[in-house]
Amino acid sequence: MKKIFFLLFVLSCLKLQAAQELKLWYNHPASIWQEALPIGNGRIAGMIYGGVQSEEIQLNEETVWGGGPHSNVRAIPVDTLRQVRQLIFDGQEKAAHAMINRNFMTGQHGMPYESVGSLKIDFNYRAGDTRNYRRELDLNRAVSTTTFQVGKVTYKREVFTTFSSPEHHANVMVIRLTASKRGSISFKLHYTSPLRHAITLNQQGDLCMLGYGADHEGIKGVIQASTVTRVLNIGGKIKRNGESIEVTNANQVEIRLAMGTNFKSYNEVSLDAEAQTFGELQTASPYTYEALLQQHEQVYQNQFGRVSLDLGENTNETSLPTDERLRRFQQSNDPALATLVFQYGRYLLISSSQIDSRTPANLQGIWNKDMNAPWDGKYTININTEMNYWPAQTTNLSDNEWPLYRLVQNLSKTGVEAASKMYGAKGYMAHHNTDIWATTGMVDGATWGIWPNGAGWLSTHLWQRYLFTGDQQFLRTFYPQLKGAADFYLTAMVRHPKYGYMVTVPSISPEHGPHGKPSVTAGCTMDNQIAFDVLQDALQATEVLGESEAYADSLRQHIRQLAPMQVGRYCQLQEWLEDADDPKDGHRHVSHAYGLFPSNQISATRTPELFEAIRNTLVQRGDEATGWSIGWKINLWARLLDGNHAYQLVRNLLSVLPSDADAANYPKGRMYPNLFDAHPPFQIDGNFGFTAGVAEMLLQSQDGMVQLLPALPDVWQQGQVSGLKARGNFEVAMNWKQGKLVTAEVKSVIGGNLRIASYTPLQSKDKQLVVAQGDNPNPLFKVAQGKKAIVSSEAHLQLQPQKKLFVYDIMTSPGEVIYLQAVQ
For 360: left if phi > 0, alpha if psi spans -120 to 50, otherwise beta; the answer is beta
Average pLDDT over residues 65-72: 98
Share of the chain above pLDDT 70, in %: 97
Is the per-residue pLDDT at 621 higher than 70? yes
- What is the side-by-side order of every strand in the sheet holding 752-758? 699-700, 706-708, 752-758, 806-812, 770-771
What SS3 state is found at 410?
helix
Average pLDDT over residues 629-639: 97
The boundaries of the domain holding residue 37 are 29-64+115-306
Tell me: the pLDDT tens digits for 535-552?
Answer: 999 999 999 999 999 999
Residue 581 CB-density burial (10 A; 0-12 exposed, 13-18 middle, 19+ buried): buried
221 in a structural domain:
yes
Contact present, 14 and 305 (Cβ < 8 Å): yes
Q: What is the pLDDT of residue 775?
A: 96
The dihedral through the CA atoms of 339, 345, 346, 348 has a sign that is positive
Q: What is the pLDDT of residue 165?
A: 77
pLDDT-based confidence at 160, cuts 50/70/90? Answer: very high
52 in a structural domain:
yes
Q: Which secondary structure element, helix H or strand E, spans residue 379, and what is its range?
A: strand 379-380
139 in a structural domain:
yes
Average pLDDT over residues 91-112: 97
The dihedral through the CA atoms of 627, 631, 634, 637 has a sign that is negative
238 in a structural domain:
yes
Give 636-672 as a DSSP string: HHHHTT-HHHHHHHHHHHT-B---GGGTTT-TT--B-
Tell me how far apart the alpha carbons of residues 674 and 655 are, in angstroms, rounded to a whole number.
12
Report angle CA 35, 36, 37 to the nearest 5 degrees.
120
Is the per-residue pLDDT at 12 higher than 90? no
Is the per-residue pLDDT at 243 higher than 90? yes
The CATH number that applies at residue 55 is 2.70.98.50
Average pLDDT over residues 433-437: 98
Contact present, 637 and 652 (Cβ < 8 Å): no
134 in a structural domain:
yes
730 in a structural domain:
no
Q: Check residue 521 and report its DSSP letter.
A: B
Contact present, 13 and 310 (Cβ < 8 Å): yes
Give 1-13 as a DSSP string: -HHHHHHHHHHHH
205 in a structural domain:
yes
Looking at beta carbons, which pairs linking 515-520 to residues 24 or more positions away fall under 8 Å?
515/580, 515/582, 515/585, 517/93, 517/94, 517/580, 518/93, 518/94, 518/96, 518/97, 518/446, 518/447, 519/93, 519/97, 519/446, 519/447, 520/88, 520/93, 520/96, 520/97, 520/100, 520/446, 520/450
pLDDT-based confidence at 7, cuts 50/70/90? Answer: very low
Closest CA to 394 of 698, 734, 764, 17: 698
Residue 337 CB-density burial (10 A; 0-12 exposed, 13-18 middle, 19+ buried): buried
pLDDT-based confidence at 166, cuts 50/70/90? Answer: confident
Average the pLDDT over each of 15-24, 253-262, 550-559, 638-647 and give the range with the smallest value. 15-24
Average pLDDT over residues 486-502: 98
Is the per-residue pLDDT at 99 higher than 90? yes
Total number of domains in the chain: 1
Q: Are strands 207-212 and 224-234 parallel, antiparallel or unpaired?
A: antiparallel
The torsion defined by the Cα of 654, 718, 755 and 466, in degrees rounded to 10, comes to -30
The CB-side HSE value for 719 (13 A sphere, CA atoms) comes to 26
Average pLDDT over residues 434-459: 97
Average pLDDT over residues 317-327: 93
Is the per-residue pLDDT at 185 higher than 50? yes
Number of Cβ within 10 Å of residue 381's Cβ equals 23
pLDDT-based confidence at 781, cuts 50/70/90? Answer: very high
Tell me: the pLDDT tens digits for 513-530?
Answer: 987 777 899 999 999 999
pLDDT-based confidence at 8, cuts 50/70/90? Answer: very low
Tell me how far apart the alpha carbons of residues 505 and 495 are, in angstroms, rounded to a whole number.
10
Q: What is the pLDDT of residue 20?
A: 57
143 in a structural domain:
yes
pLDDT-based confidence at 337, cuts 50/70/90? Answer: very high
Q: What is the pLDDT of residue 127?
A: 64
Residues with Cβ within 8 Å of 438's Cβ and at least 6 positions away in sequence, in order, are: 266, 267, 407, 410, 411, 413, 414, 415
Would you say how long the chain is, in residues?
A: 824
Q: Check residue 593 and report its DSSP letter.
A: G
Tell me how far apart the alpha carbons of residues 225 and 362 are, in angstroms, rounded to a whole number.
18
Is the per-residue pLDDT at 13 higher than 60? no
Phi, psi angles (nearest 5°) of residue 684: -80, -15
Number of Cβ within 10 Å of residue 186's Cβ equals 17
Phi, psi angles (nearest 5°) of residue 469: -110, -25
Residues with Cβ within 8 Å of 78's Cβ and at least 6 positions away in sequence, in order, are: 424
Number of Cβ within 10 Å of residue 249's Cβ equals 13
Identity of the amino acid at 124? N
How far out from the chain centre does Cα 784 lie?
26
Q: What is the pLDDT of residue 21?
A: 81
Report angle CA 470, 476, 479 to the nearest 5 degrees.
110
Tell me: the pLDDT tens digits for 16-44?
Answer: 444 458 999 999 999 999 999 999 999 99
Count the helices and strands in the chain (H runs, E runs): 20, 33
Identity of the amino acid at 476? R
Report how far apart the first and last C-alpha atoms of the chain are (Å, whole number): 23
How far out from the chain centre does Cα 302 lie?
20
Q: What is the pLDDT of residue 124?
A: 86
Is the per-residue pLDDT at 14 higher than 60? no
Residue 146 CB-density burial (10 A; 0-12 exposed, 13-18 middle, 19+ buried): buried
Average pLDDT over residues 620-643: 96
Q: What is the pLDDT of residue 587?
A: 85
Contact present, 32 and 49 (Cβ < 8 Å): no
* Bridge partners, 54 (sequence order): 122
User: Which stretches of 78-129 are assigned E, i.e. beta strand?
Assistant: 117-123
Tell me how far apart the alpha carbons of residues 804 and 569 are, in angstroms, rounded to a whole number.
30
pLDDT-based confidence at 465, cuts 50/70/90? Answer: very high
Tell me: the pLDDT tens digits for 268-310?
Answer: 999 999 999 999 999 999 999 999 999 999 999 999 999 999 9
Is the per-residue pLDDT at 6 higher than 60? no
Contact present, 690 and 631 (Cβ < 8 Å): yes
Average pLDDT over residues 479-499: 98
Is the per-residue pLDDT at 84 higher than 90? yes
Average pLDDT over residues 161-175: 88
